Structures are given as C-alpha cells and as structure tokens.
Structure 1
C-alpha cells in the first residue's frame, strides 16, 4: 500500500466514524475500513449506545477476506475486556496483517496497550496519519477521559449588535430557516442539548432534532438552580421518554424534585454558586454520567457562567442582519471582567454564509 492509499482509506474510516457522533457516548465514535490487495472488503462504525465497536462491524462484513488485510481505524483499537472483548484481539484473530490508526486512545485501560497487543502478535502498526482530524473528531471523548467532563460547544444566535431578544423577550426568529436547520444538524452530533432555566421558561423549547430524517434524539438538558421550571411545558410533557435531564442545586425544593422525578426526568444535584449552578462540578457530573459532547444554546446567564469558568471549548456564532438596540437582551450575562486580559479568547476556525445569516466557528485559544 502507498502512503496515498493509507491517507485515503484512513480518511474514509474517519468519515465513517462521524456517523456515530452524538450516538455512541460514553464510547468514542470510531470508524473502520478493512482492505485487501487495495480493495475495500469491510466497513463499520461504532453503533448506537457504543457497541458493537467499529472494528467488529467491519470484520463481520469482511469475513474471511480480512485475513492478510489492512485495518484502518480512526482510534487505537481497545485492549481491555469490558462488555465486549478487546478489538485488538478480534483483529488478531481475524488474521489482519496491518493496522493504520492516527492516535492512541488515552483511556487508562488502553493508552497504547492496543497497539502493543497487535505488535506482539506480529501485526504491523502505523500511526501518526491525519492526527489533527482524529483529534477533532474524538475531542469529546478525549476531553472526557483527560478532564472528566464533556466537550462544550456554545451556540449564540444574535443580531448585528449582539442581542438575542427584544426588550420584551421576543427571539423567534432572529436567524433564518437555513441557520436553524444547521442548529438541528449540530444538535444531532452532540450527546446533549443544554439550556438555562430562563430559556426553558421563556421559550418552552422541545430541544429535539427535527426535519432531518434522524430517529435518535440527544439528551435534553436544563440547568435550573431552583428547579422552578414549567410543570406543564413541552419538556415536562415528554420527560417520560427518559431524555430530559435537569441539573439543579442541592437546595432545590423537595416537592419539585419529587414532581420532576415523577414525570420521568433524571435529576442531577450539584453545588450552587450564587444564584446559579456551579458550572465546573456540573460538567464533572455530566461527564461521570457518560456525556462526551454537550451543545449549549444559552441563555445569557448560563453562557456567561460557562465562559467565565473557561469551560467553553467551541463557539458557534450565528449572526443575523438586523439590529435590536441597547434595550434588547444581550447575548451574555454579566461576567465581572475588569480587564481585557481576563476575557476568554477564541481562535477563528471558519466563516461561512448560511441563507441570509453568517456562521462563524471559533475554538478555544491555545494556552
């Protein structure tokens, strides 16, 4: 195989893995391509719920054709016995002669052990290709394993002058239908969609993925220190499906706790900070619950608390061509900054038009 072939087939494995984003937590969304004599004989990606793993799916499709072939995997094959046997072991048993993967799995149960197991069995291992792409695709899983919390993407839909609603609270719709469709696609690639209590009370959102032909739904997550959310709203009426989670303060009203639990919501009690839930222990609790990718849609107080605690990894800004004036509601609540040096900074990754709006994508600035 040539270096060009390796790059092409590993690129395909990465693209297959992206099919699982938002569906495989707490496991990574891995893709696998198996080739023999330059021809693809098996393809697979991590299935909903995190198993079967990508390698197992690809090996099942390849069958006997896998023997002597090359497996392109978007992350180091696992080496530990969990609910399924190690993928490295499955590759060896199938007679795979070579494995190409971009990066190690930093999970303490793997951490190079998968590659070591393969090499010990005489399988050639090639690493270091498409590293940046793999780090991007697996960012949620890697952050969860390294920091114990999910990756946080903050989305802001705002006017030219940085407002998210009029003075009366009207916000539907600042951006156009094309931008809103993009939001649904972004929701689908995350494990959970998160809003603050103010947004839940003002907008009565469903927080679902709609109009994309997608059957799965992310966790619908609300952050409410006092748990004072509408008990007759959309979230309450649909909580029985098990996808409504609420992070609340430990001092929330016991009657409200009982009411939401009775509706079927999953409640997560965390420490408070002033009038809000402390974002750091909240995200740690969500990471422990298995979430790896959270898509936050505000409002201003929650967004400000996450930014102020330096817990936003990616920022999506959807800018609309209208102005609402100083009386409009700002995109961010108070952050208590006195100096520019204290402000969280982001690096521009991409800018693109979307209907009549503009989407800018930002990453946390290095350092």
Structure 2
C-alpha cells in the first residue's frame, strides 16, 4: 500500500519551473492560495533536497486558515540538508528520507531537533519503499511539490496518482529546470498517460487537473 500522490507544479507555458537564472516567481497570488488549500487537505508534503537548497521553503499552510500542517517530507539521499533550513523549524513534523550511507552524526543532530530520519536505500532513496513506510505511518495522501529530478523519479516508479498544474502566461526558453527532467522515456508507448479531469482559468493563467492512467 502507498499514499495517494498529487503532483503539483506551477510552470511557464514551455514547461519550465525557473528561468535560466533560477527565478521561479511563476505563481500568482490566486495560485498560491489554491496550493495551500491542497496542502490543508493532505497528510504530507514532499520535496527533494534541491528544492530545499534553492528555495528554503517552510512547507506549511500559511496562506489560508487551517487546523493543521501536513507532515513535511524531504528526499535527501546524501543528507545535504542545512541545519538552519526552515523546513526543520517546529511549525510541523518533518521526515527526512535518506540512505544507509548518510552521516550518522548529522542524523543524531537532526533527531535531537525532533526530526524523523528514515533510511531506505543504499545509494539513492528507494521511493517505492519510502511510500510503503509513509503509508504504514498513517500518511494516506501526499502533495508532491518536487523539482524536475524528483518528479521524474516519482513518475518513473509509477507513484503519482494525480497531476495538478498551473500554467502561467510566460515563456522562459533555455535549458532551465522543467516539470519532469531525468533521462526521459524513449517512446510514446513508454510514457505516462493522463486523463483530463478538470481545467479552469485562474488569474491570468490556467489550471489543468489530470488523473494518471494506471
């Protein structure tokens, strides 16, 4: 068993999450509120270490009133998370998924701060195993707010159930981070197939919602 995973992203019309200079100011205020409404409904929010290092997010519900904050889950194979990262504050519970080769002293320091550290995998985090562990811990739904690398890994492993995308009326171009990076699929037959669930205008952009065909 695994949690139900919703992949959410704000991107330019050409599928970029940032400009070549790393500017990721894509969402309008209406979209930020939309995302926080989803956060308030799920049990967990998942990101990769790249997102933490670049954006230093809080990963809490603070744009709207909510009764709780979801568990924050960071996929960090090499345990590179800075000890002063905002995701380690006491606003919500945090789980860091790492590997057997992670620094034990840093793990001890994180645990002192109330952070739960899960080892699953030798070189890279075993995402399927992680999903099973999270489900056993009572996490039934996850909002995936990953970058291109984590998104690719989650899609490749068949772990995403739903897609929610805000497309801003912008074109960035260049070799910037896209919604899904990684090595990619070789053929159309191999690719992830989606079923359109809903679409609507939001601010000056548009939101597309899909179910992932299994």
State the TM-score, normalizing by the size of structure 1: 0.57
Residue 126 of structure 2 is aligned to residue 278 of structure 1: yes
Q: Decide which of 76, 97, 113 is 1:263's aligned counterpart.
A: 113
Residue 18 of structure 2 is aligned to residue 165 of structure 1: yes
Gaps of 5+ in 2: none
Equivalent residue number for residue 321 of structure 1 = 169
Gaps of 5+ in 1: 1-147
- Count of residue pairs the alignment pairs up: 214
Q: Decide which of 20, 33, 38 is 1:186's aligned counterpart.
A: 38
Q: Does the 8 Å CA contact 1:228/1:256 hold for their aligned counterparts?
A: no
Q: Supply the distance in 2 between the matched residues of 1:161 and 1:281 (Cα, whole angstroms).
A: 33
Q: Supply the distance in 1 between the matched residues of 2:193 and 2:46 (Cα, whole angstroms).
A: 22
Q: Which has the higher contact order (CA 8 A, sep 6+)?
A: 2
**Equivalent position SS for 1:163:** coil
Which has the larger share of helix? 1
| Deviation at residue 327 of structure 1 after TM alignment | 2.9
Q: Of the two, which has the highest radius of gyration?
A: 1
Q: Decide which of 74, 77, 80 is 1:222's aligned counterpart.
A: 74
Q: Does the 8 Å CA contact 1:225/1:277 hold for their aligned counterparts?
A: yes
Q: Deviations over 1:266-324 (max 9, x none)?
A: 1111114x5x3121111011111111000000111110000011110000111000011
Q: Supply the distance in 2 between the matched residues of 1:328 and 1:314 (Cα, whole angstroms).
A: 24
Q: Supply the distance in 2 between the matched residues of 1:210 and 1:336 (Cα, whole angstroms).
A: 35
Q: Deviations over 1:150-205 (max 9, x none)?
A: 0111012100100001112221x212110111000000110001100000110000
**Equivalent position SS for 2:131:** helix
**Equivalent position SS for 1:341:** coil
Q: Does the 8 Å CA contact 1:271/1:278 hold for their aligned counterparts?
A: yes
Q: Decide which of 27, 37, 60 is 1:175's aligned counterpart.
A: 27
Residue 55 of structure 2 is aligned to residue 207 of structure 1: no
**Equivalent position SS for 1:339:** coil
Cα RMSD after superposing both structures: 1.3
Q: Does the 8 Å CA contact 1:193/1:295 hold for their aligned counterparts?
A: yes
